[in-house]
A = this chain, B = another copy of it.
Amino acid sequence: MTISANHTAHDPGPQTVNADPVAEAVRKFGITVEDYMLPARHQIQMVDPGGRLKPDSEQGTEPGHEYPLPGAEELLAAYEQLVIGRRVNDQNSALVRQGRMAVYPSSHGQEACQVAAALCLSEGDWMFPTYRDSVAVMARGVDPVQTMTLFRGDWHSGYDPMKHRVGIQCTPLTTQLLHAVGVAHAAKLRGENTVVLAMCGDGATSEGDFHEALNFAAVFHLPVVFFVQNNKYAISVPLAHQSVAPSLAHKAVGYGMAGERVDGNDVVALLAVLDRAVKLARDGSGPLLVEANTYRMQAHTNADDATRYRQDSEVAEWLAKDPVSRMKTYLTGRGLLDDETDFRIAEKAEAIATRLRDGLGEDVPVDPQDLFRHVFASPTPQLLEQSAMLADELAREESSGEGAK
């Protein structure tokens, strides 16, 4: 069924409906605007859970939704990051168990999403991650120990967002999507070629800020790729209690942007879909929405008890779809990966794990005066007074021989 894209049968559609990529797809493939904006009938999947490349006809691609296979170099780089990501996840979980870190929301099982999110971006681009996206943050180049500062509890964020163009890992759900929109908007106004990847989870799509961010990005026609990791749970709440839409990617059409869904455990498909989305955005398509179907293999965080709300059998099902081993099988089968390379990669991963163990093992002293130092660029007399009060208190404690507790 062909459906016109007009607001009414009489008025001409709004400007962006005629924007290049949409118009081109409509012309080229004889599809409708809705066909372009709605996700393809099936999720995009290129490598099946067994590690076999699927035939073109079964990858879920369609006219206007076509995705060439990424190049070998990119795939190998992705594999390396996958192995590192898995190692980082497991190392951090261990550090939490050992009491060296307070909390760690692991992306175990979601490493393909993490890696693709980092690799699809160029240096000048921006990423806006959540608390769960530490592996993506590190894959973008941020120092592992600095990344973990938040979870160790020394400070709210340990890295400089400007250095790698990575927003600080955000806790208030979906609020960061609007910051992504603002960064893209500023870049666009200056005529810069920046693409912004804005990340959130399936649960987060229910928040009002999700709606406002997608709409702002669409109306201002900004180069933002919204990337939803649908890992099927928001803490204990399963997807079915979060949304009854045909898919989360179906939300895109309601903002006048294109949506797509992709196998979130298939890093090959993820790279194909995200690379194209980033390219389209950079070329002026306006924003896009990509939903990755994946699974949170572990509890929400170490403080959570997942046995209260889901069956082991469900977890086991997803274990068979593991993104790391799948990619290994695929690359080995294609002759792109041999034991030697694999060993070298494992060594790299181990080096990072060591850096995490060492870095988080150190007991970095905190400075109480940091409480006051960074509240404002230009401090208030009130804060200077309070700072002096604390200094005095600590000095008295010190001199009375007690020391800080």
Contact = CB atoms under 8 A, between A and B. Distances in A.
Given A15-B240, A239-B14, A4 B41 contact: yes
A247 to B, nearest CB: 5
A255 B261 contact: no
A40 B6 CA distance: 11
A68 B371 CA distance: 68
A66 interface: no
B208 A9 contact: no
Nearest to A209: B208
Contacts of A244: 14-17, 218-219, 221, 255-256, 286
A380 interface: no
Contacts of A127: none
Contacts of A45: 9
B261 A256 contact: no
Interface residues of A, number: 61
Contact of A2 (B34, B39, B41, B211): B41
B14 A240 contact: yes
Interface string A189-210: 0000000000000000011111
Interface string A1-29: 11111111100011111000000000000
A9 B60 contact: yes
A71 interface: no
Copies, count? 2
B243 A253 contact: no
A43 interface: yes
Contacts of A206: 211-212, 215
B256 A254 contact: no
A7 B293 contact: yes
Considering residues A31, A38, A250, which has the most beta carbons from chain B within 10 angstroms of its beta carbon? Answer: A250
Contacts of A281: none
Nearest to A4: B41
B246 A17 contact: yes
B42 A34 contact: no
A316 interface: no
A80 interface: no
B255 A246 contact: no
Interface in A22-65: 31, 33-35, 37-43, 45, 60, 62
A256 B243 contact: yes
A387 interface: no
Contact of A6 (B35, B247, B253, B263): B247
Considering residues A33, A207, A239, A245, which has the most beta carbons from chain B within 10 angstroms of its beta carbon? Answer: A245
Contact of A219 (B243, B252, B256): B243
A206 B45 CA distance: 33
Contacts of A6: 246-247
Nearest to A29: B1
A38 B42 contact: no
A180 B200 CA distance: 28
Nearest to A16: B244
A328 interface: no
Given A1-B31, A16-B244, A34-B34, 4 more contacts: A6-B247, A211-B212, A251-B254, A253-B254
19 contacts: A1-B62, A7-B247, A9-B45, A14-B239, A34-B34, A34-B38, A206-B212, A206-B215, A208-B211, A211-B211, A211-B212, A218-B243, A218-B244, A219-B241, A244-B255, A250-B254, A251-B254, A251-B255, A254-B254
